[in-house]
Structure 1
């Protein structure tokens, strides 16, 4: 049985439907990330779990018990906000223990709890400081400590890293990952950053316009996107999505990709891909991630289906550990991810290897996955 179950959940504000029937589940100790663009409903969904927003239809169950009609204080849920929400006149220790003090927890027990979370979060040396004396990352640790000390059934994080600079975001991401591994807590985490989603989650729900576009493990979301929105949203750089045509010949199916000059690039479709048979002679959208399009020497030697083609390179972007090259196929710019020392120059033709094991195909009208 799932620890957190969300079934048929809808939320309306007047005639405006914000959540349109959400179904999700999470195992105990799991880390669910709700990801999607601004306005997709992810924070509203988090607020319904916390009890800060009522639900219009559906149910939310935690550990087999419905919490949909419970007051927030009765749900045994702790929330970490984007704004930290620390009391400026209290010390770090005071902020962490304030909730316990209000509940009448004895001083000795409070001090033990403070010491425990301070050790986990490595903030023992900050306990006597005020929030104004802390960095952004330290304040976020204190906010997490205040939630941890309650030992709730469920933790909710609402874009906790969005106020931090890029390097600190990476550091805090590692801290949250370490915290989850050390404590085994069950977490629901909201972000618009797909890198955070991929690195933190055991399960990801990709949301758009109040609906879940796909729900699965990070590997499932990344390697087998259900539609073009998920394919484009998850990944940095994004998946290349190119207009193509499925052609059927004596040797089997190929996908034909137009290029500005010369004959189209024709790539063999993996044998046994029956789902594409019905699309022979029709336009499709061909998806391939930048790391599956590389220089031949850097191609995955374990790939079962590799194809090579000469492509005119328009832009070269050295990025330290990788080199990115931009060419044009299927009427769009295509990003290839090459080795750092790949010998490639803009304005010249270069041989590129397509790992067709990693290719996906979409219907251009419905934008859903074909194969």
Structure 2
């Protein structure tokens, strides 16, 4: 039985359906990350779990107890907000202890909890300062500390790193993951940053327009996207998505796409999805991640099915540990991820290798994965 269960959750604002029958499970100690574009409903879902929004339909259970009609204070959750929400007239220690003080926790217990949390978050030297004297990362640690002393059943994080600069985001991401590994508390975390989602989550839920598009482990979401939206949204750079024509010759399946600078690209697809052969003579969308399109020396040595083709390179983007090369298949710009020292130049052709073990295909009309 799941620790956090969300069943057919609905939320409307007036005539607008914001959540449209969401079903999700999170195991105890799991780290669920809700991702999606702005307006997809992820913050509304988080606020519904917290009790800050009254749901229109469905149910929410935590630890086997239905909580969707309980006051937020009765749900045994703690929330960390994007804005930190610290009291400016209180010290760090007072901010951390405020909730315990309101609940009547004796001072010796409060002091012990503050000390433990300060040691865990390495903010012991900041306890006498006020929020205005702290950096963004320090304020976020204090906000997390205030949640930690609650020792709740579930932690809720609402885009907690979005106000931080790029390097500090990476540092705080590591701290949050380390904290979760140490405490083992169930976490639900909202972000629009899919890199955060991939690195933090034990389970990712991708939302769009109030609908759950797919949920699964980071590897499942990344390698086996259920539809075109998930394939395009998850990953940086995004998955290459190229319109192709499906061909067949007996049991063999091939794909082809035109190129303005040379002959059409034709690839034979071994072990093709069963549904792909049924698309013979029709269009499909061929999906391949940039790291599965690379140079010879960078190709996966364990791959079973590799195909090569000469491709005209339009743009070269050195990125330190990698080099990204942009070419064109059909009418689409396609990105290949090459070794840092790959010998490629804009305006010249290069032999690129397709790892067809990693290829996925989608129906262009429904957008759904072809299985």
Q: TM-score, normalised by structure 2?
A: 0.99
* Cα displacement string for residues 240-270 of structure 1 (whole angstroms, at most 9, x for unaligned residues): 0001011112571111021112221111112
Partner of 1:42 in structure 2?
A: 42
Once residues 343 and 33 of structure 1 are traced to their aligned partners in structure 2, the CA distance between those partners, rounded to angstroms, is 39
Once residues 64 and 18 of structure 2 are traced to their aligned partners in structure 1, the CA distance between those partners, rounded to angstroms, is 26
Tell me, which stretches of 5 or more residues in structure 2 are unaligned?
none
Distance 1:78 1:309, change over 3 A: same
* Cα displacement string for residues 103-128 of structure 1 (whole angstroms, at most 9, x for unaligned residues): 11111100110011111111111111
Partner of 1:57 in structure 2?
A: 57
1:350 and 2:311 correspond: no
- The secondary structure found in structure 2 opposite 1:279 is coil
Partner of 1:332 in structure 2?
A: 332
Once residues 211 and 249 of structure 2 are traced to their aligned partners in structure 1, the CA distance between those partners, rounded to angstroms, is 40
- The secondary structure found in structure 2 opposite 1:258 is strand
- The secondary structure found in structure 1 opposite 2:85 is coil
Deviation of 1:13 (Å)? 1.1
* Cα displacement string for residues 39-58 of structure 1 (whole angstroms, at most 9, x for unaligned residues): 00000000110000001110
Q: Counterparts in 2 of 1:316-331, with a 5 A limit? A: 316-331=316-331
* Cα displacement string for residues 171-210 of structure 1 (whole angstroms, at most 9, x for unaligned residues): 1101100110111111000000000000000000000000
Partner of 2:215 in structure 1?
A: 215
1:164 and 2:164 correspond: yes
* Cα displacement string for residues 40-87 of structure 1 (whole angstroms, at most 9, x for unaligned residues): 000000011000000111000000000011011111110000000001
Query: Is contact 2:315–2:327 with CA below 8 Å preserved after alignment?
Result: yes
Once residues 322 and 262 of structure 2 are traced to their aligned partners in structure 1, the CA distance between those partners, rounded to angstroms, is 29
Partner of 2:184 in structure 1?
A: 184
How many residues are treated as equivalent by the alignment? 371
Partner of 1:21 in structure 2?
A: 21
Partner of 1:89 in structure 2?
A: 89
Partner of 2:115 in structure 1?
A: 115
1:98 and 2:136 correspond: no
Once residues 115 and 208 of structure 1 are traced to their aligned partners in structure 2, the CA distance between those partners, rounded to angstroms, is 42
* Cα displacement string for residues 21-43 of structure 1 (whole angstroms, at most 9, x for unaligned residues): 00000000000000000000000
Once residues 111 and 251 of structure 2 are traced to their aligned partners in structure 1, the CA distance between those partners, rounded to angstroms, is 74
- The secondary structure found in structure 2 opposite 1:245 is strand
* Cα displacement string for residues 194-238 of structure 1 (whole angstroms, at most 9, x for unaligned residues): 000000000000000000000000000000000000000000000
Q: What is the CA RMSD across the aligned residues, in angstroms?
A: 0.8
Once residues 29 and 188 of structure 1 are traced to their aligned partners in structure 2, the CA distance between those partners, rounded to angstroms, is 10
Tell me, which stretches of 5 or more residues in structure 1 are unaligned?
none
Partner of 2:3 in structure 1?
A: 3
Query: Is contact 2:273–2:370 with CA below 8 Å preserved after alignment?
Result: no
Q: TM-score, normalised by structure 1?
A: 0.99
Query: Is contact 2:252–2:270 with CA below 8 Å preserved after alignment?
Result: no
Once residues 261 and 251 of structure 1 are traced to their aligned partners in structure 2, the CA distance between those partners, rounded to angstroms, is 31
Partner of 2:255 in structure 1?
A: 255
Partner of 2:129 in structure 1?
A: 129
Partner of 1:229 in structure 2?
A: 229
Query: Is contact 2:11–2:17 with CA below 8 Å preserved after alignment?
Result: yes
Deviation of 1:11 (Å)? 0.4
Deviation of 1:272 (Å)? 5.1
- The secondary structure found in structure 2 opposite 1:59 is strand
Once residues 240 and 171 of structure 1 are traced to their aligned partners in structure 2, the CA distance between those partners, rounded to angstroms, is 30
* Cα displacement string for residues 321-351 of structure 1 (whole angstroms, at most 9, x for unaligned residues): 0000000002111000000011111111110
Partner of 1:284 in structure 2?
A: 284
Once residues 367 and 315 of structure 1 are traced to their aligned partners in structure 2, the CA distance between those partners, rounded to angstroms, is 29
Deviates more, 1:187-196 or 1:243-252: 243-252
Once residues 261 and 89 of structure 2 are traced to their aligned partners in structure 1, the CA distance between those partners, rounded to angstroms, is 68
Partner of 2:302 in structure 1?
A: 302
Partner of 1:79 in structure 2?
A: 79
Deviation of 1:94 (Å)? 0.4
- The secondary structure found in structure 1 opposite 2:243 is strand
Partner of 2:275 in structure 1?
A: 275
Once residues 239 and 273 of structure 2 are traced to their aligned partners in structure 1, the CA distance between those partners, rounded to angstroms, is 21
Once residues 262 and 159 of structure 1 are traced to their aligned partners in structure 2, the CA distance between those partners, rounded to angstroms, is 46
